[in-house]
């Protein structure tokens, strides 16, 4: 590990990358949002690691098997690849404290807004969380960002508009930027990275 650690862009999945549909318990429910592939490609072009961090308690609840989650992520990768984009890392929390499935039943340290997924990625991919960004559609994503030392960015896709109107006003944490969608978020992040070096 001679290289200096790098800043990354962490992305929430549901509501940020793909349409918010509740549990994605079938492949047919995964729909990439407009502009997402372009957003990821902009970051890829600049060699900024793009890392997806997602809570998937549907596994813990027994709503779908791990195989489906793999298929969903293959579909995501395939649709991104068609537009020349790729994800560099994918970190999943399958846990829930009241899980039906015993192997997933725990108070883990990775379910967002806990920071375990970001910390694991930082170690494995040599990332600098303090210079990183976390983009999501929920206040829990913003909370996770701030706790991990990263810059929080809210997108207005998924639950974003509702969270901004009804959850945000009761919260101390503010997003550093509010973007219409992931493409807007990526463009802002790229400008910020250029400005701060």
Residues identified as active-site: 12, 14
- Interface of this chain with Zn ion, residues 97 to 116, rule: CB under 5 A: 108, 110-111
Is residue 149 packed enough to be buried (19+ CB in 10 Å), middle (13-18) or exposed (0-12)? middle
Choose among 52, 18, 69: nearest CA to 135: 52
Asked whether position 12 contacts Mg ion by CB under 5 A, the answer is yes
Q: Nearer to Mg ion by C-beta: 88 or 137? A: 137
SS3 category, 97: coil
- Specify the stretch interacting with Zn ion by CB under 5 A; choose among 8-16, 92-100, 144-152, 157-165: 92-100
Tell me which of Mg ion, Zn ion, none is bound by residue 12, counting a contact when its beta carbon lies within the kind-specific cut-off of 5 to 8 angstroms.
Mg ion
Q: Nearer to Mg ion by C-beta: 55 or 151? A: 55
Q: Are 187 and 135 in contact (CB under 8 A)?
A: no
Asked whether position 119 contacts Mg ion by CB under 5 A, the answer is no
First to last CA, the chain: 21
Q: Are 173 and 143 in contact (CB under 8 A)?
A: yes
Min CB(72)–Mg ion separation in Å: 14
Asked whether position 21 contacts Zn ion by CB under 5 A, the answer is no
Q: Nearer to Mg ion by C-beta: 103 or 171? A: 171
Asked whether position 163 contacts Mg ion by CB under 5 A, the answer is no
Q: Where are the beta strands (DSSP E) in the chain?
A: 9-11, 50-55, 89-93, 133-136, 151-155, 177-179
Q: Nearer to Zn ion by C-beta: 99 or 193? A: 99
**Which residues are near Zn ion by CB under 5 A?**
93, 95, 108, 110-111
């Amino acid at each position: 590990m001679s290289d200096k650690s790098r800043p990354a862009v962490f992305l929430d999945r549901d509501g940020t990358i793909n349409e918010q549909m509740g549990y994605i318990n079938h492949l047919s429910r995964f729909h990439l949002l407009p502009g997402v592939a372009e957003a990821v490609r902009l970051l890829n072009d600049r060699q900024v690691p793009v890392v997806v961090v997602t809570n998937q308690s549907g596994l813990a609840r027994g709503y779908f098997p791990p195989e489906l989650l793999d298929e969903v992520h293959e579909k995501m990768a395939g649709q991104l690849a068609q537009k020349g984009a790729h994800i560099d890392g994918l970190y999943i929390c399958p846990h829930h404290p009241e899980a039906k499935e015993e192997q997933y039943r725990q108070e883990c340290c990775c379910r967002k807004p806990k920071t375990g997924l970001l910390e694991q990625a930082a170690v494995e991919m040599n990332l600098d969380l303090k210079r990183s960004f976390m983009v999501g559609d929920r206040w829990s994503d913003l909370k996770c960002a701030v706790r991990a030392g990263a810059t929080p960015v809210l997108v207005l896709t998924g639950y974003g508009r509702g969270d901004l109107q009804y959850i945000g006003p009761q919260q101390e944490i503010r997003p550093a930027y509010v973007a219409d969608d992931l493409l807007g978020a990526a463009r802002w992040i790229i400008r910020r990275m250029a400005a701060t070096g």
